[in-house]
Amino acid sequence: MANWTLIDKHARAWLQEAGKRIVSSFATTPEIMTKTNPNDLVTNIDQETEQFFTEKIRETFPDHHILGEEGFGDEPTGLSGIIWIIDPIDGTTNFVHQQRNFMISIGIYENGEPGLGFVYDVVYQELYHARAGEGAYWNDKKLPALEELPVEKALIGINSTWLVSNRLIDPKETLIPLVKDVRGTRSYGSAALEFVFVATGRLDAYITMRLSPWDFAGGKIIVEEVGGKVTNLKGEPLKMLERNPIVVARPGLHEKIIQKYLSKGL
């Protein structure tokens, strides 16, 4: 059984240090590169931050496994043992264009079961964290359990690209009717930020068609600790080592969004 108290202590210290380094990097221009397409950015700061965590973890917990977006981890093929799933900068486009609205996201699992979740806003120094079974926190404030809310009163996070025709969902029968029925929509450009906004009640739901494990691993633990639901579009559990379409929401609202809207397009 993992020593979660010890892991938590180190993870927090490393988050603080990594955060300071990222903020100091604002003094210089980052080196911006593209990955799969011209809008898929990565910078030397994403890479250096992931390397910082992988070095610390390997030094302190040599038997732990690491899955990181930028490839400095060990590309685990299974979920056995303790695995750190790391996104060094979630919201790289925001990092490059805005110097804010990006997060460090870390989810730590043991044999596929949640252990610790961290989403850290390094600019505003706001830490969202959860330890499985012990609740979730925004800095030192314990977050209350999420309550139900009707669709008509909901503020939902959704990227407008999913409302135009795309290869993953037909929006006509699903997302467009949902967007018409809700109170409002928002798009923040960082999946981890949108997850913790659901956990704090600043958003009531977040829907996205394709997230990788590092985008959701930390936020999922935090949302579930306050009673929020995190599934694929059919209400099934996420595959922790694959890309997934995702709906995150308050209890009740989650089921309603799937039944009344998303199931119409499946």
Measured between alpha carbons, how far is 106 from 36 in angstroms, rounded to an integer? 23
Measured between alpha carbons, how far is 192 from 216 in angstroms, rounded to an integer? 6
Residue 189 contact, options Ca ion, ligand 2AM, none, Cβ 5-8 Å cut-off depending on partner type: ligand 2AM
Tokens of 3: 């020593």
Nearest to 238 by CA among 257, 259, 219, 266: 219
- Residue 201 CB, nearest approach to Ca ion (Å): 23
Where does this chain bind Ca ion (CB under 5 A)? 69, 87, 89-90, 215
Contacts of residue 148, defined as CB under 8 A and 6 or more positions apart, other chains included, come to: 250, 251, 252, 253
Residue 36 contact, options Ca ion, ligand 2AM, none, Cβ 5-8 Å cut-off depending on partner type: ligand 2AM
Tokens of 61: 């917990």
Around Cβ 237, how many Cβ atoms within 10 Å?
9
Q: Is 104 annotated as a binding-site member? A: no
Residue 190 contact, options Ca ion, ligand 2AM, none, Cβ 5-8 Å cut-off depending on partner type: ligand 2AM
Closer to ligand 2AM at the Cβ: 92 or 244?
92
Tokens of 185: 């929509």
Closer to Ca ion at the Cβ: 119 or 143?
119
Question: Cβ-closest residue to ligand 2AM?
Answer: 191
Where does this chain bind ligand 2AM (CB under 6 A)? 36, 39-40, 69, 87, 90-92, 189-191, 212, 215
Residue numbers belonging to the annotated binding site for Mg(2+): 69, 87, 89-90, 215
